Amino acid sequence: MDSVYLLVVDDSPDHAPVINSFLRNAGLAVRVVSASDINELEVALKEKSPFLMLIGTQLPAAVKMGQLMQLANQYSTAVALQVNAEDMSNIEAAISVHPLLVINAEEDDQLMQVVKQHMSGGKTVREYQVIAHRLEELQHRYDLLLDNARDSIAYIHEGLHVYANRAYLELLQVKTLDDIEGMSLLELMTPENGTDLKKLLRDMNQDIFPAETLAVTIDTPAEKTLKADLAFLPARFNDENCIQMMVRERDVNQVLQEELDRLRKTDPLTQLINRATFTARLSTLIEEGQTDDFRSAVLYIEIDGLGELQQNLGMENIDTCIMDLANLIGGCTQDTDIPARFSDNGFAVLVRRSDKSALRQPGDCILDNFSSHIIDLGDRTMTATCSIGMTTLGSLTRSADEVISQARTAFKEASQKGNSLVRFKPALTTVSSGEADRDWVERIRYALNNHDFYTVQQSIVDLEGENEGLFENRTFMREEEGDSPATEFMQAAERNDLGSMIDRHVIPQLMVAIAGTGDKHIISLSLNSILDFSFPHWFERMLKETEVVGSQIVLQISGFIAETNLKPTRRVIDELKEHGCSFVLSEFDNDRRMLQLIDHLPVEMVKLRPGLAKGLSANTENQEIIRSVVRAIETYNITIIADEVQDASDLAVLWQCGVKLVTGDFLNEAPQVVGQ
């Protein structure tokens, strides 16, 4: 908080401290300064800007009242005069020069009121002075910037020039504003597209400004004709509303401008685009979304062992190696690919192909051609190899930085071996914590981008021999070593709102495979899809696009999900039953809450909890659970499915318990794979 000062003029050295103590005790944060001669007085007024000059009853002999009043006038400082009742001489001397307050020296309340009133007013004056000073400084800076701007700018009022910067004057080939001040725009400029300039100026005076630039021909006072584009904006000049006009001359140094633009975007050695341009183009592709049928990938490439080569060859020969690699990259890429010199030692290539498997071909071509290429270094020749990191783009790709980071991560792995190409894949851990969830999220996003999900179809057998061609579908995520079933990744996917994305990725492939077969298929739904209000409409659209009959689809919902999300589950069932779809509750057992679900959800089937049918012949406890489920639902016309049946000897037990449909490894059939 800024300090506020009270200036006391009195011959007594105790007067100022007494007033200071009095005001402080009264709770007023005032700093009291004193002056006993004209010099001290002027310094205090100049440096402290006091809100009030208080003249005591004992005026210093060296100070005249007229001098005090003149300084108060000069610094616009309010004055209060303390007097005794019988003393009139100081009052007459003071009021003859300067208006002031007269207060009784013996009345402290009067002093208190005067100080309080002037403190607030003095603060406002000081703040105004500071703001005015800053505004004046900003205006000066703005005028300086405007006058030195490269763009030609003029301010127009009532069709006349009221200001023009140096560039505008030079454009018109005049020396000062006086040469054009009385000249109307109508005399100088002729619109090229038939626009009525007079009407345009009239509209702009009503704050109706054109959105586009205006093409004009300018006839300068020097009798030179220019082609230019005008851009208009509202402005104020000398407290008057006016029009700011920016003039851009056309066709001036156009070739030079294009060359400068090219130089800003390209690498001087290889003539490939540079890092900034490549990143911008990659960002544009990601932001626009890949709505076409093409697949995209980014390759990051460096020469192997370049650090050692730099020590042995020198920079000129290294440039030769870099140039040779750049030429080979150009020979292995198509016109639609975007190669770039990404760093001193590295190249990046954005590859687009209609087939995902073809994305690797440019990288393999570069590896083969560069390893067999002879690099001519003048007095000697040499060979070298390079390594490549590759990452693919997809609908879930977030940014260019993410893509480039992934490609460089894969390159580091490739460079450890040398002369190889490594495709980026996120590290994968088990779902055991929120930290591990992040690994799964990255891996799932990567799998969605790279079509790493596929479905295995397995027959469901009717123990009574009435086979209707019913199949269940299990989703897997492709891994380098051992593919992951949905039970491993789906919980992490659902916690991070990726379950619906997986469903929307897998289901269309399944429908294409189902169409026209007449078979019925069980397809699992994630929690995210059940909570997604748009999912039923999307599913209906998929049925129409793939020409699948709704009665061919049995949608599977986990009993645990249905139990905790009863209303959304019922909504999905009601909406999709209209299209002929039926439903099955999985992970079902004799738990009271599970059994209550069938009173609320119109399902046609239930699938027993995993593990209940394993080794059933020797497990009487599980047999009793299955029998209790059968008894509970026998009045509902609901069919029971037992899966993961491994031993054919358990089939008789299941049939005796009342289970009709079974599936599992006992079938020894080759599963059908969809989306491989």
Question: What pLDDT is attached to residue 511?
Answer: 92
Candidate from 6-10, 217-221, 313-317 with smallest mean pLDDT: 313-317
Average pLDDT of the chain to the nearest whole number: 84
| Edge-to-edge strand ranges of the sheet holding 52-55 | 31-35, 5-9, 52-55, 78-83, 101-104
Q: Is the pLDDT of residue 244 over 60?
A: yes
Question: What pLDDT is recorded for position 445?
Answer: 86
Q: What is the pLDDT of residue 85?
A: 65
Instruction: Report the C-alpha gap between 493 and 396 in whole angstroms.
Output: 14
Question: What confidence tens digit (pLDDT) does each residue in 578-631 have?
Answer: 999 999 999 998 888 888 899 899 999 999 988 888 878 878 888 899 999 999
List all residues 6 or more positions away from 339 whose beta carbon is below 8 Å from its beta carbon: 272, 273, 326, 329, 330, 333, 347, 348, 349, 350
Percentage of residues in the chain with pLDDT exceeding 90?
Answer: 21
Output the pLDDT for position 120. 65
Domains of the chain: 5-129 (3.40.50.2300), 149-252 (3.30.450.20), 264-423 (3.30.70.270), 434-674 (3.20.20.450)
Residue 124 scores a pLDDT above 60: no
Q: What is the pLDDT of residue 363?
A: 92
Confidence band of 427 (pLDDT split at 50, 70, 90) = low
**What was the pLDDT predicted at 255?**
55
How many angstroms separate the Cα of 298 from the Cα of each of 83, 270, 304, 405?
Answer: 89, 19, 19, 10
Q: What type of residue sits at position 7?
A: L
Q: 126-135, 202-211, 275-284: which range is least confident on average?
A: 126-135
CB 424 within 8 A of CB 394: no
191-205 mean pLDDT = 87
Least confident of 113-122, 295-304, 615-624: 113-122
Residue matched to tokens 């019922």: 570
Listing DSSP states for 349-360 in one string gives EEEEESSGGGGG
Asked if residue 482 has pLDDT above 80, the reply is no
Q: For residue 182, with 0-12 CB atoms within 10 Å meaning exposed, 13-18 middle and 19 or more buried, which class applies?
A: exposed
Q: What is the mean pLDDT of residues 534-547?
A: 93
DSSP element (H, E) containing 127: helix 108-148
Among 27-36, 84-93, 423-432, 615-624, which stretch is predicted with the lowest mean pLDDT? 423-432
Quick one: pLDDT at residue 185? 87
Tell me, what's the pLDDT at 34? 85
Asked if pLDDT for residue 1 goes beyond 50, the answer is no
